[in-house]
Amino acid sequence: MHKIEMPQWAIDRALERRGKPHPHEDLDPRKTALIVVDLQNAFMIEEVAVAYVPVAVEIVPNVNRLAAVVRATGGKVFWIKHTIDSGSLTSWSEYLGMLTPGTREGQLKNLAPGSRGHDIYSTLEIKPVDEVVQKYRFSAFVQGASDLPQRLRAEGYDTVLITGTVTNVCCESSARDAMMLNFRTIMVSDGNAARSDEEHMATLATFYAIFGDVMDTDYLIERLQAGAGMRLAAE
């Protein structure tokens, strides 16, 4: 697992701007969606990897635990699959055109629908009530990348918990754009994975200081259960 230690400058900046450590700790579980970004074989199994992130395998138990609590308290889990196909050569030529021929071919092969690399990692516990979303850019929330924002709005979700890989690429892009679209956004510190501790913490620190909230799995579970308890007491 990543070594997680929020730098003091990020804590100070967050407190200065917001006045408290966690602006989103008052969770309504019924309006909360867990977004699992790109936990696919193409990032977790070296032989089909387009970007191998070993820590992504280590966060699977946390993602499964959090998913179970989100479902149990009235929210929903959305599994995001990064997708690159032949159409991407035109629609996302800026990105693919920067890659070496070998790297580009690997992405077209291992992130295409139906490929082994495109599949979600085997020990992740996907349930029939969950939804699977294809995305065609790093961010799942940027215009034209997927229909995730529309699905969330239609189903009444205003809070998103971001997990997955890579912390500082697709997860960060999705988290920032979610906040820009007015979703209450929380990055899960021990539910995201990058290639190094430094990259992981750089993203979490900047996100926490400016864009949204950062919590670990245990604290999120506590807050979801507390929110569910408050609802039951009110009823």
> Does a structural domain hold residue 1?
no
In the chain, the number of structural domains is 1
Could you report the per-residue pLDDT of 98-133, keeping only the tens digit for each?
999 999 999 999 999 999 999 999 999 999 999 999
> Does a structural domain hold residue 165?
yes
Give 192's strand partners. 164
pTM for this entry: 0.96
Question: For residue 44, what is the domain's CATH number?
Answer: 3.40.50.850
Do residues 162 and 169 touch, judged by C-beta distance below 8 A?
no
What mean pLDDT, rounded, does the chain reach? 96
Return the structure tokens found at 177: 């754009």
pLDDT surpassing 70 at residue 235: no
Could you report the per-residue pLDDT of 56-87, keeping only the tens digit for each?
999 999 999 999 999 999 999 999 999 999 99
> Does a structural domain hold residue 6?
no
Instruction: Report the side by side order of strands in the sheet with 213-215.
Output: 131-135, 76-82, 32-37, 159-165, 184-193, 213-215
Could you report the per-residue pLDDT of 186-195, keeping only the tens digit for each?
999 999 999 9
* Residue span of the structural domain in which 52 resides: 11-234
For residue 77, give the DSSP letter. E
pLDDT surpassing 90 at residue 139: yes
Do residues 195 and 167 touch, judged by C-beta distance below 8 A?
no
Determine the pLDDT at residue 96: 95
Could you report the per-residue pLDDT of 159-216, keeping only the tens digit for each?
999 999 999 999 999 999 999 999 999 999 999 999 999 999 999 999 999 999 999 9
> Does a structural domain hold residue 4?
no
